[in-house]
Amino acid sequence: MAVDVGEADFEERVIKRSFERPVVVDFWATWCAPCRHLTPVLERIASERTGDVELVKVDVDANPGLAGTFGVQGIPAVKAIRDGRVVNEFVGALPEAAVKTFFDSLMPTQADRDVAAGDAAASPEEAERAYREALTAYPRHRGALLGLAPLVASRGDFAEARELLAQLPEDAEVRRLKAHIDLAEDAQLSTPDDPLSAVAGDGDWEPVLERLLQEIREGDDKERARQRMIDIFEVLGPDHSLAMRYRSALAAALF
């Protein structure tokens, strides 16, 4: 059976969940006759794919904000969401064979399964082997590239890590990994009195940021210190308290 979701729990039940597996959203209303015909078809086909896809229902009358956000103009409207975005959709009560084809387009490929194995691997070696197998079948698989890049960077192969990430469109996650790689390489080459020599496995960035800020105020290579702080902000994320505090401190020190 499809789970009813609304504006209060859509983020949790659909958007966040879609990063684990595809979520099919059935936009419907009680007065819609084609909806009453389509929903049982969706539920039957989804039940045959339990574990690979989830099905939820959104009543457009009770949740007009969601209907507007997703551009629903006619119902039934069915949208498949993966990794937080719509990847496939249709409007109207399609024949069952067409609905099956729609669901089949969302099923994990062998490359997807290899990436999942890499994510769950017990050792870096097993993970790397699984990610590379995925890339053999699908050379630009996002999950495999994102999984493999930090692994090869961790053993000092920063050039290959950057080559892997260069195949992906630039977004927040890719920028974060690129910044992490830049910082890791910088730390590896740093001298004992270099601010990045304080980088520790526990992820305590505050002493590093403090020393970099001092470098900007008093040191000779202000641009290098500034870029390092920006990289750390990328790694931490825009909402992290340290990023917000030291971004303000950086602006004050520069201007």
Residues known to be catalytic: 32, 35
Tokens at 100, concatenated: 């099956």
40: preceding bond cis by omega (within 30 degrees) = no
Helical residues (DSSP H) of the chain, grouped into ranges: 10, 33-47, 64-69, 96-104, 110-119, 124-137, 142-154, 158-165, 172-189, 206-218, 222-236, 241-254
Tokens at 127, concatenated: 């993970």
Determine the distance from the C-alpha atom of residue 132 to the mean position of all C-alpha atoms in its chain, rounded to a whole number.
20
Helical residues (DSSP H) of 7-61, grouped into ranges: 10, 33-47
Report the C-alpha gap between 206 and 204 in whole angstroms. 6
**Residue 54 β-bridge partners:** 23
First-residue to last-residue Cα distance in the chain: 59
Report the C-alpha gap between 232 and 20 in whole angstroms. 27
Q: Which of 225, 223, 200 is nearest to 211 (CA)?
A: 225
